[in-house]
Each structure stands twice: as C-alpha cells, then as structure tokens.
Amino acid sequence: MKIKIGTRGSKLALWQAYHIQDLLEKKGAETEIVTIETKGDKILDVSISKIGSKGVFTEEIEEQLASGAIDIAVHSAKDMQSELPDGFELIAIGEREKASDVLLSNNKNLDLNNSNLKIGTSSTRRIAFLKKYYPEVSTVPIRGNLQTRIRKMEEGQSDALFLAYAGVHRMGYNDQIALEMDVQKFTPAVGQGSIAIETYTSLSSEKREFVRNSINHKPSEIAIKAERAFLKKMQGGCSVPIFGYAQVIENQVVLKGGIISLDGSKFVVSESQAPITNPELAGESLGKYVLENGGAEILEEIRKEQG
C-alpha cells in the first residue's frame, strides 16, 4: 500500500510529516511526501488576521487532497478551521505534545514587568494575554518559520519570542526556552501541540482504516474533539483570541476555555466536562456558556476591530 502525504514545506511541517511517515512505514506502508506551499507561507509581511483566517495554511493542501494528488494531509491541529469544507474530515490525531506556550530568548532572566522588554509574536491570543497579565511589556509582529523568527530576534527585532512549546521542542531549541507559561493562566490555542490527519471522501476505506490504526492516539483525539467543538460553537477562526485546553481524566474529558478581548481588558473563561464517549458535548456546553456570559459581545467587538 502506497500513501502520499501532503504537507507544508517548513522545517517544522516536514518534521511532522516525517514523523507520520515513520509511523505509517512501521506498519508496512510505502509512502511519499509531497510539499505544498500555502497562502500563509507566501504572505509573511502581514498578520494572519489581515490575510483572512479561513484556510490560510490549509486551502491549497485541500485542493491536492480533493484532486487525489495526495492521500492524506498532515497539519498542526491548531491551524485547522473549526468547520472543514464539504468532503473533508480529520481521521486521526497524533499523540499530543505538551500544549503550553514558551518564551524563547538568549536572556534566561526575563523580567515581564520591564517596560523595555519587546516580545515577538503575531498571535492575537498571546498579545491579549500579555496585555492582561503583563501590560508593561510591548509586542512586535514577527512571522515566518521558527528559524526565521529566531534570526529576527537575534538581529534585535525583539528580546524574546512567544511560541508553542511543541514547535520549539520538535525543532530542538529547548535550550533557548527562558520561560514556560502555565496552561491554566496562558491557556493555549485549540489543538495546540497536536498533529491532525485530514483526508477527502474519495480515500479508500482500506487506506483510511490503515492510517487511523497507525496514527490515532485516542486520549489526544478525545481532547481535540472537545476543543474543536468549543471553537465551532464560538465561530472563531485562528485570528480571534479564543483559547481552549482539554484533558482526559479517567472517563471524563475536562475542558477549560474562553475568549479574551484584543486589548486584554475583557475576559470570559469557564470549564466544562463530558463523558469521553461524547467529548463534543463539553465543547458545545462551554461555548454556549461563554457566549451567553459576555463572550458574544467580545466576539462582536473583535470582528469590528479586525474589519
């Protein structure tokens, strides 16, 4: 059986694709990796929210899936929009890496109350959390792959970078981590730390089953399903500072999530849980609570500000 794997071409995306390739080949498949450039890879001089949040890192890859040029696509789960286009689905979630955010810096004694400190990030969620908890700190927009961001930091554009632990760890930059953020305070983006496998309906049931059996990590899948159901209920894209983090505890999935205004001044957060047999229920009930308790107003304000 030969499986064609589609991926973005960055070093991190390729690391993820090679990891999936290894899992498939260990089970006996022949594989081929196909690199695809996306809109989000081409446009690096503006923020994701300005490009438009839907399919920024997935649209071109989905075209290749639909045409049959590739069998599966390997994505960072956090890049996936909450509602996939017709005919597409996620059939497997890889085992989740630690989901926390980190600050990467050559200075291991960062003072987050220092008004001269410049932190590089283009994430609306990370910027909003910094404004809420450390208003003295200033942020500068830095995009590009991890190596590009580190080069920009070393050139003096920022003193530190605000990133996901998973990418930093997978690229071998653990020694540059100055601070790891608490997931209860700096709750990550939905899906952060997970690899998602997307397919199109035309994929044969034999390949579909093989891929799922080779890759899927059930506890991670349960958590991601809860988080994605929350994101879907909130109707938020990756440019809206919505956050959610679920964990499987015994036979329940426990989800903490919410929304924060762009300036960090308004914040709605809560927690819900559901049986692991119906993780989406946790996401839907949390989304309903957040929207009814101030989240809808925050969402409306964000959409107006982002134009």
| Three-state SS at 100 | coil
Q: Cβ(150)–Cβ(159) under 8 Å? A: no
Contacts (Cβ under 8 Å, ≥6 apart) of 274: 226, 252, 253, 255, 280, 281, 282, 285
**What is the distance, to the nearest Å, from the Cα of residue 25 to the centroid of all Cα atoms in its chain?**
26
Whole-angstrom distance, CA of residue 202 vs CA of residue 44: 33
| Three-state SS at 61 | helix
Catalytic, out of 79, 159, 175, 263: 79
Q: Is 45 a catalytic residue?
A: no
> What does each C-alpha distance from 163 to 30, 134, 188, 209, 235 come to in angstroms?
34, 16, 10, 34, 24
| CB count in 10 Å sphere of residue 72 | 26
Active site (catalytic) residues: 79
